[in-house]
Amino acid sequence: YSISNRGSRLDKYYTFRANPSRMSILKEMDVDIVSLANNHVYDYGYDAFEDTLRLLDESGIRRVGAGMNLAEAEQVQYFEVNGIKIGVVSASRAEKYVITPEAKENEPGVFWMYDDTRLKEVCTEADGQCDFLIAYVHWGTEDRCYFEEYQQEIARELVDCGVDAIIGGHPHIVQGMEYIEDVPVLYSLGDFWFNGSDKYSMMVQLNIYRNGTCKVDIVPCRQKD
């Protein structure tokens, strides 16, 4: 979603926008980083998008997957934890009818992966800059239990580029998980918190080791009442 009191909703069925006061919730939850590579961050146009970036920056919350230009949108964020350097990159391929703008050299928007050529280049470069690289991707078909063939193809390509874990979202329900060459691929975690439905989802905890491997722990969740 966008975080703003400004802007006008785009001509689409669902649009999401949060009051800037809600930023306090992210701070209360100790959020370190958010992904903006999705199909709703631009729901209220340029002004609200700009406010979203600014409010996150002012709060010290890092962001990936969108920006005021392509260089900003594709930027990998790095964290050093207990001597291990972890990189996070994010991109989106989520719309059947594409409305959310693509970030370009001098234009704001989201880091697209409808053509994942640039994403693979970014991941290859980032692999040489960190010990463990996470790709957080917005993809798949809403409310579909099974991941698509193209998702698996992209996952294999990202593994070839040095990505060490792939975590997906967008379908609103849990999809499958597999390992590709020892790399965990979680195609969709579902909705941790969304609308009034009674639904299952999951959180994932990655225990990362110095040799570049990780242990995956799944925390099953249920939203009810």
Whether 135 has a pLDDT exceeding 90, the answer reads yes
| Span 66-106, pLDDT tens digits | 999 999 999 999 999 999 999 999 999 999 999 999 999 99
- Residue 197's pLDDT is what? 87
pLDDT at residue 195 in the model = 85
Per-residue pLDDT tens digits for 28-41:
999 999 999 999 99
pLDDT in tens, 194-210: 888 899 999 999 999 99
Instruction: Quote the CA–CA distance of 13 and 119 in Å, as a whole number.
Output: 29
pTM score:
0.96
Return the pLDDT at 20. Answer: 97
Mean pLDDT of the chain: 96
pLDDT digits (tens, 9 = 90+) for 165-195: 999 999 999 999 999 999 999 999 999 888 8
State yes or no: pLDDT of 161 exceeds 90: yes
